Chains A and B, each alone.
Chain A
């Protein structure tokens, strides 16, 4: 089930980049700003919000099970306050917050954010990875961010019986349309690398999710063979 509604709090470059990247994934995307003058700047697309309000307006727009909120306010303290305000009002809302540093990231986690993106750390990690493992970084970046023909997908296993009880680590995955299986997520959401010791002793069952990488056409063919594209149920998803 795809997500329905996204709230983006804060009107800045981060917010606009986020909106540009998620606009196709959501049926409705709402942008909120703490600054009233922003609403005049883009009247129809930006709404004003106040940290003291009771979120009645927002509640009306919200489908709690399928709504995600992005807290991107520039001031970390205000962003933390926003996150805790949302969590206090909406227990099941998925909240993704941006933090400048690790200290704020920890506070945001305590405040109830499901996922925190520490901007400085993330940027620095990308740069240091580029320096340490330039080829691997470039390849993974291309796979993940779709700049190449290579893709990564998560496929839910639907007909596990076709593997005849074979263990995942023993299966020659290359015979399945030239894809590479990186890891398996079991029904209990535990993750295993394809060659971990557990995958040598635990056969695939329906409902397991395979994280695969390969060319788009191969992935589609693989998907038809063993299952279907898996979409995350945000209500159950834990980070």
Chain B
């Protein structure tokens, strides 16, 4: 391999592994192309604003003299911004270095001589794909008003309107919906073209020799045909001969058919794609939620759990194979998808990072087989995510454990334990039950000891919980994963510890505020 090739390959590897370069490129890619990026929305808003400003200036300029700075802003500043955007898009479209490395490794693997020209050919090919894409062409034409002195080029400012398509998702959705009916629209267009073509000739033949007829040229005949077939009918040109009127009747009938057909095509295209559009929107919404629970199945227990979590302002997603149950979940105000919780594809389609976004997966179907299957599906894609499952039949407990469920809830066992406490220690049971209940005014809160809290409260005695009429039940030491009941006053608090306080709900909130208030001062 000669020196130039070696230099190019080395440079490609250097750039490809340069964290700073890749980070920046990823940032611009997310900004320009990744609809899930939080910054893209703001970028799009800025660009849309620039487009409207540009159009407003153009309109104003038609009949008014504009100050120089506005013309300068429109012709140069906006154009330069658009041009930078164009270049950035050109840059992030594919990777030059990756193409070189890929080719180099491919040739090396096959024991061939590295063919740099083939790598460049690939690069040129995919960059050309970008350059000649409709969107890129519109982007480039929108930059042309930069050459403001060439007055003809100022009309290209209108291309900035087309740029709106790029930033407004609804246009893209509409285009994709209509694209599904390409064949039907093509057929319709062909039919309309034939009708227009034939009727134009016919009306010309029938009317052109009639001196009192307004249709004297083929162009006028074509204009009349278009106006008639579209059912607009301005009335500025009307056929006068009987033959011409007969042609007009045929064209009107054909026009009504074309219009009806077009309307039905639009309606059917949207009806067919409506669920898909909704699903895409839902998934987009889900990917933006930071933390949420996934509830698999939406039967009785799942519904109650979902409502309880909703009360606590928790985000949750419901997956259920049954369409009716999904519908019920929608009616209850939840994000629900008609996905099979036992399928890997369902989780892939969600486009979420299970490790960081999902708090817990709850398998709450009334069937142990389905819960085990779902658990195994989740475990096949993620080993760490906490999972909780309902157990319907005690004999299946071990199967759920083997499937990787962390917490198992067996309602029959719960009832047994509750009954035991009820008959043995009813008063104590009621006391604890009240603490757990959201409807009681006496409650238990777990308060995390953050770094900020720790700056002012190093010992248990410093918490002053008694001043707020709160009982300190104990401390959960995160470091030791252990609970220390009724700790002594000189017990040290550590970051990440949880203190369990019991008391009136209002006082508990006041106490939490007190912890932070002191920090502020």
Q: Report which A residues bind B (CB closer than 8 A).
A: 3, 6, 13-14, 16-18, 20-22, 25, 68, 70, 96, 98, 100-101, 115, 117, 119-140, 143-145, 150, 152-154, 169, 174, 178-180, 182-183, 185, 191, 193-196, 209, 211, 213-215, 230, 232, 237
Q: Residues of A contacting B437 with CB < 8 Å?
A: 125
Known: A96-B422, A183-B431. 5 other contacts (CB 8 A): A22-B419, A22-B420, A123-B414, A137-B436, A196-B469
- Number of B residues near A (Cβ < 8 Å) is 65
Jot down 9 A-B pairs with beta carbons below 8 A, ordered by A.
A13-B412, A14-B416, A121-B304, A123-B390, A124-B305, A144-B429, A182-B435, A195-B469, A195-B470
- Is the pair B428, A123 in contact by a Cβ cutoff of 8 Å? no
Q: How far is the CA of A144 from the CA of B425 in the complex (A)?
A: 9
- Is the pair B423, A68 in contact by a Cβ cutoff of 8 Å? yes
Contact bitstring B384-422, A, C-beta under 8 A = 1, else 0: 000010100110000000000001010111111111111
Q: Residues of A contacting B415 with CB < 8 Å?
A: 14, 17-18, 98, 117, 119, 122
CB-contact partner of A70 in B301, B419, B428, under 8 A:
B419
Q: How far is the CB of B8 from chain A (nearest CB, A)?
A: 56
Verify if B194 is at the interface (C-beta below 8 Å from A).
no
B128-136, B148-156, B328-336, B438-446 - the one binding chain A = B438-446
Cβ-closest chain A residue relative to B307: A124
A154 in contact with B423 given A13-B412, A125-B308 (CB within 8 Å): no
Q: How far is the CB of A29 from chain B (nearest CB, A)?
A: 11
Q: How far is the CA of A224 from the CA of B470 in the complex (A)?
A: 27
Verify if B360 is at the interface (C-beta below 8 Å from A).
yes
Q: Residues of A contacting B393 with CB < 8 Å?
A: 13
A125 in contact with B471 given A13-B394, A17-B415, A214-B486 (CB within 8 Å): no
Q: Report which B residues bind A (CB closer than 8 A).
A: 293, 300-301, 303-305, 307-309, 312, 314, 359-360, 362, 364, 388, 390, 393-394, 407, 409, 411-432, 435-437, 442, 444-446, 466, 469-471, 473-474, 476, 483, 485-486, 498, 500, 502-504
The list of the 9 closest CB pairs from A to B, nearest first, reads A124-B304, A17-B416, A128-B308, A195-B469, A21-B420, A21-B416, A152-B428, A13-B412, A154-B427
Q: How far is the CB of B358 from chain A (nearest CB, A)?
A: 12
A101 in contact with B300 given A18-B415, A119-B415 (CB within 8 Å): yes
Q: How far is the CA of A36 from the CA of B429 in the complex (A)?
A: 36
Q: Tally the A-B contacts, defined by beta carbons under 8 Å.
A: 178
CB-contact partner of B309 in A101, A131, A134, A196, under 8 A:
A131
Q: Residues of B contacting A16 with CB < 8 Å?
A: 412
A127 in contact with B301 given A133-B446, A136-B500, A178-B486 (CB within 8 Å): yes
Q: Residues of B contacting A174 with CB < 8 Å?
A: 486
Q: Residues of A contacting B308 with CB < 8 Å?
A: 124-125, 127-128
A152 in contact with B500 given A123-B411, A131-B309, A131-B359 (CB within 8 Å): no
Cβ-closest chain A residue relative to B302: A124
A211 in contact with B427 given A17-B415, A101-B300 (CB within 8 Å): yes
Q: How far is the CA of A182 from the CA of B436 in the complex (A)?
A: 13
A127 in contact with B500 given A140-B436, A185-B427 (CB within 8 Å): no
Q: How far is the CA of A207 from the CA of B500 in the complex (A)?
A: 30
Q: Residues of B contacting A211 with CB < 8 Å?
A: 427-428, 431
CB-contact partner of A119 in B303, B411, B428, B500, under 8 A:
B411
Q: How far is the CB of A120 from chain B (nearest CB, A)?
A: 5
Q: How far is the CA of A143 from the CA of B485 in the complex (A)?
A: 11
Cβ-closest chain B residue relative to A3: B423
A123 in contact with B500 given A101-B300, A131-B359, A131-B360 (CB within 8 Å): no
Q: Residues of B contacting A154 with CB < 8 Å?
A: 425, 427-428
Q: Residues of A contacting B418 with CB < 8 Å?
A: 117, 122
- Is the pair A18, B416 in contact by a Cβ cutoff of 8 Å? yes
Q: How far is the CA of A191 from the CA of B300 in the complex (A)?
A: 33
- Is the pair B412, A130 in contact by a Cβ cutoff of 8 Å? no
Q: How far is the CA of A183 from the CA of B434 in the complex (A)?
A: 11
- Is the pair A182, B502 in contact by a Cβ cutoff of 8 Å? yes
Q: How far is the CA of A145 from the CA of B420 in the complex (A)?
A: 9
Q: How far is the CB of B455 from chain A (nearest CB, A)?
A: 23
Q: Residues of A contacting B445 with CB < 8 Å?
A: 133, 136
Q: How far is the CA of A191 from the CA of B433 in the complex (A)?
A: 13
Q: Residues of A contacting B471 with CB < 8 Å?
A: 180, 182, 194-195
Q: Residues of A contacting B411 with CB < 8 Å?
A: 119, 122-123
Q: How far is the CA of A78 from the CA of B471 in the complex (A)?
A: 45
Q: How far is the CA of A160 from the CA of B193 in the complex (A)?
A: 103
Q: How far is the CA of A80 from the CA of B349 in the complex (A)?
A: 46
Q: Residues of B contacting A145 with CB < 8 Å?
A: 417, 420-421
Q: How far is the CB of A169 from chain B (nearest CB, A)?
A: 7
Q: How far is the CB of B426 from chain A (nearest CB, A)?
A: 5
Q: How far is the CA of A63 from the CA of B300 in the complex (A)?
A: 38
Q: How far is the CA of A135 from the CA of B500 in the complex (A)?
A: 8
Q: How far is the CB of A128 from chain B (nearest CB, A)?
A: 3
Cβ-closest chain A residue relative to B472: A180
Cβ-closest chain A residue relative to B475: A135
- Is the pair A215, B304 in contact by a Cβ cutoff of 8 Å? no
- Is the pair A17, B413 in contact by a Cβ cutoff of 8 Å? yes
Q: Residues of B contacting A144 with CB < 8 Å?
A: 417, 421, 428-429, 432
Q: Residues of B contacting A14 with CB < 8 Å?
A: 412, 415-416
Q: How far is the CB of B491 from chain A (nearest CB, A)?
A: 12
- Is the pair A136, B446 in contact by a Cβ cutoff of 8 Å? yes
- Is the pair B498, A135 in contact by a Cβ cutoff of 8 Å? yes
- Is the pair A117, B419 in contact by a Cβ cutoff of 8 Å? yes
Cβ-closest chain B residue relative to A181: B471
Q: How far is the CA of A86 from the CA of B312 in the complex (A)?
A: 40
Q: How far is the CA of A232 from the CA of B423 in the complex (A)?
A: 8
Cβ-closest chain A residue relative to B359: A131
Q: How far is the CA of A196 from the CA of B413 in the complex (A)?
A: 34
Q: How far is the CA of A98 from the CA of B422 in the complex (A)?
A: 13
Q: How far is the CA of A184 from the CA of B483 in the complex (A)?
A: 25
Q: Residues of A contacting B435 with CB < 8 Å?
A: 140, 182
